[in-house]
Structure 1
Amino acid sequence: MSVDTLFIGWDVGGWNCDSNANSRDALVVLDGKRNLLGQPWRGNLRTAINEAGSTREWLQTLLRYCQIECNDDLPPAVMAIDTPLGFSRPFLNLISGRGAAGDIGKSADNPYLFRYTEHFLFQHGLKPLSAVKDMIGSQATKGMHALARFAAEAVETGVWRNGAALTAFEAYPSACKSSLRVRELLQKYRTVSATTQPEVWDTAGFGSGIDHEDKRDALLCALVAWLFHAQPDALYWPDAGVPAGEGWIFVPEDALA
């Protein structure tokens, strides 16, 4: 494969999303010039996760699902994953019997429901979901399980790796909709100009096999993976206050109010 780095976007479905018409796993793979490789894929990755004996085997399966020819000499992959990849420290303390948090107020400030990174996004005009209250616990545990299997080394806040083979982190496609930088990158894949119709985000505005919202979100994740590698200053990185182990949602800086 004559590609220096693969950029993979994974929009995560539930563990048993095979017959879920609205939400399944979706994958999009880009090369270093943001060309779409193979075809966007949508289905359930549970079997691929269960059967892969190594990170290499898992990545090879993902590429095969996307109709991308590959061999044993895989290039490094950067993967942006659309699901919470951690729980808040107060929540973990609560369920492990290590004590309760203080008084509980409104939802957006609830330390059990949201992590530091989500509180930060609330303060900047975004509305991230909660792995605890918004019925995405299945997706969250699926993403965390895949990390534990294939990219278990936490090299810095919110970033996991398996050597040079795979770098993975959490993305948030909905935040990209207010990013002018991402809008510009998206023009490569659209059939409807975002300049003339900036409000169009449904799949009718896309070509390149992006025929479902899950695939669109996977494309947005793949673009964030590319930014992470090629233009890291375009993303907002975690500050020193993030509790260890909670993870971080990487979003474009120009998406923040």
Structure 2
Amino acid sequence: MTSDTSAPLFIGWDVGGWNCDKNPSSRDALVVLDSQRNVLGRPWRGNLRRPINQSADTDAFISRLLNLCELDASRFDSAPVVLAIDTPLGFSQGFIDLVVNGQAADAIEGSSENPYLFRRTERFLFERGLNPLSPLKDMIGSQATKGMHVLARFAPMIESCGVWTDQIRLRAIEAYPSACKRSNTMSELHEQYGIGKSPDAQWPEGFHHADQVDALTCALIAWLSHFQPGKLVQPTSEIPVREGWIFAPVDD
């Protein structure tokens, strides 16, 4: 199969902790898709800590991601990339105000409404029956800081709420595969890979772990954000820009 080496690439990254090398249940996973949603190379699973540390700039980082997936990165050196990352890519404005400015929020009651523990995007999901995790209370701080570290190094500019960029080649967004399980849109996209309603019930050829299937879902969110953004819930004007936004299907 021949791919247009200047067309966009869509990379899904399911994030593991900083030191997930020997974690049997959760590690970093990558999947690369082309514009026709074909899987390029091979899904990868391991720890991205060392490739992140070894990358001097954005191009080097992208090249390492592609090489890990057994792709010749030099063939895609002009391809723009959309990277969808499965981890919180910001902390809540309430938490930042508390830590940086010593500014307390108003009275706090229910956990899902706690402005320190959850961003507005997560509270939005709670209001719709989902249960997103908190980077502060749910032991995903390692993954969250890993994702934010990558943004700070390789996509430090905010293009719009929930979209980070290097202003040249890379755009990064936040995805959340658990928010896609009830989506007909995502189910239809998954059918291309032989995945049924429950993604972990059947793995496509070349996939060996649920982390890789989650990375595929992230890559599909990246693809939707580029070609069919109307099928993803978009942030509204009152969302704090630095908090970011979880891009999930409208029909979930």
Shorter-chain TM-score: which interval? Answer: over 0.9
* Amino acid of the structure 1 residue aligned with 2:46: G
Look up the SS of the partner of 1:93 in the other structure. Answer: helix
Q: Distance in 1 between matches of 2:192 and 2:239?
A: 35
Residue correspondence of structure 1 range 154-233 to structure 2 within 5 A: 154-190=158-194, 194=196, 198=197, 200-202=198-200, 204-233=201-230
Say if 2:94 is the partner of 1:90.
Answer: yes
Q: Distance in 1 between matches of 2:226 and 2:249?
A: 13
TM-score, normalised by the number of residues in structure 2: 0.95
TM-score, normalised by the number of residues in structure 1: 0.94
- Contact preservation (8 Å) 2:160, 2:241: no
1:11 is matched with 14
Runs of 4+ in structure 1 over 3 Å off: none
* Amino acid of the structure 1 residue aligned with 2:164: W
Q: CA deviation at 1:163?
A: 1.9
Q: Distance in 2 between matches of 1:172 and 1:207?
A: 20
2:65 is matched with 62
* Amino acid of the structure 1 residue aligned with 2:187: R
Find the partner of 1:144 among 143, 148, 169.
148
Tell me the matched-pair count: 248
2:241 is matched with 244
Q: CA deviation at 1:201?
A: 2.6
- The sequence identity of aligned pairs, in percent, is 55
What 5-or-longer segments of structure 1 have no aligned partner?
none
Say if 2:97 is the partner of 1:100.
Answer: no
What 5-or-longer segments of structure 2 have no aligned partner?
none
Residue correspondence of structure 1 range 43-82 to structure 2 within 5 A: 43-71=46-74, 73-82=77-86
Say if 2:145 is the partner of 1:133.
Answer: no
Q: Distance in 2 between matches of 1:70 and 1:242?
A: 36
Find the partner of 1:2 among 1, 4, 7.
4
- Contact preservation (8 Å) 2:82, 2:170: yes
